[in-house]
Amino acid sequence: MFNVAVLVNTIAVIFGGFFGTFIGNKLTDNIRKILFQSVGLTTIFIGINMGLEANDLIVVLISLAIGGVIGEFLKIEDRIGKIANKIEKSEGETKFVKGFITATVLFVIGPMTILGSLNAGISNDNSVLFLKSMLDGISSIILSSVYGVGVIFSALSVWVVQGLLVVGSRQLQFLSQEIYLNDFTAVGGAMIVAISLRLMDIKDIKVGNFLPALVVVIFANYIKMMF
């Protein structure tokens, strides 16, 4: 279950949690906003770089369109939000538990967790998980300044969940073929750009609804290969 990016993500949450617990309350809202914007700017470059890997932009466009429609029909983003809220509210009201659950939901449930783990397992590309590590580290500073040490223990959830996802995705090695991998990466890149727009409060795109596009692009390239 070892992956260096998963380890870095875990350590980022731990260090961010310690920092926030003891110093985070001294950070102003403007500083916190700047920290997230800096991650957002970096995210744009990584997303664009991934998008440039595309073999066929038509396939990428079709996959995003069909996948987005499927995701909207299934209300994936809304369902993820409801599950997260239900978990958070069902675990009691102590400060420690509240911090642990809130941080776990934020760090584990979301497109970057899935996309980053798939990229790491299939193509040994850890860039998305490294980016997520920066974002989670900053988020843990802010959360722990409010909830305390409970946020630090959420690092265990990050280690276990992302580690299992990386190991599981290694069973999909057929996706490492160029015909599948490049357009898969490009679709993921488009989603990463969408996440960056949310981070910088430019556009609140429901990124979770585009998760089916990661499956659609595989089938689209399979059909294309058949003809």
Per-residue pLDDT tens digits for 142-154: 888 878 888 899 9
CB burial of residue 50 (10 Å; 0-12, 13-18, 19+)? buried
Indicate the range of 8-12, 130-134, 177-181 predicted with least confidence.
177-181
More confident residue, 11 or 184: 11
The confidence score (pLDDT) of residue 15 equals: 95
The confidence score (pLDDT) of residue 1 equals: 56
Q: Where are the alpha helices (DSSP H) in the chain?
A: 4-22, 29-51, 57-74, 76-89, 95-108, 111-123, 127-147, 150-169, 178-199, 213-226
The confidence score (pLDDT) of residue 166 equals: 92
The confidence score (pLDDT) of residue 177 equals: 82
Backbone phi and psi for residue 126, each to the nearest 5 degrees, phi listed first: -95, 5
Confidence of residue 111 (pLDDT cuts 50, 70, 90): confident
The residue whose two tokens read 């958070």 is 88
Distance CA 124, CA 58 (A): 26
**What would the mean pLDDT of 150-174 be, rounded to a whole number?**
88
Predicted model pTM: 0.76
Half-sphere exposure of 92 (CA within 13 A, CB side): 6
| SS3 of residue 48 by DSSP | helix
What is the DSSP code string of 185-200? Answer: HHHHHHHHHHHHHHHT
Per-residue pLDDT tens digits for 26-64: 778 888 788 778 878 888 888 898 899 899 999 999 999
205 has a pLDDT exceeding 90: no
**What would the mean pLDDT of 171-200 be, rounded to a whole number?**
84
Specify whether the CB–CB gap between 44 and 196 falls below 8 A. yes
Distance CA 118, CA 170 (A): 8
CA dist 34 to 106, 194, 197, Å? 20, 19, 14
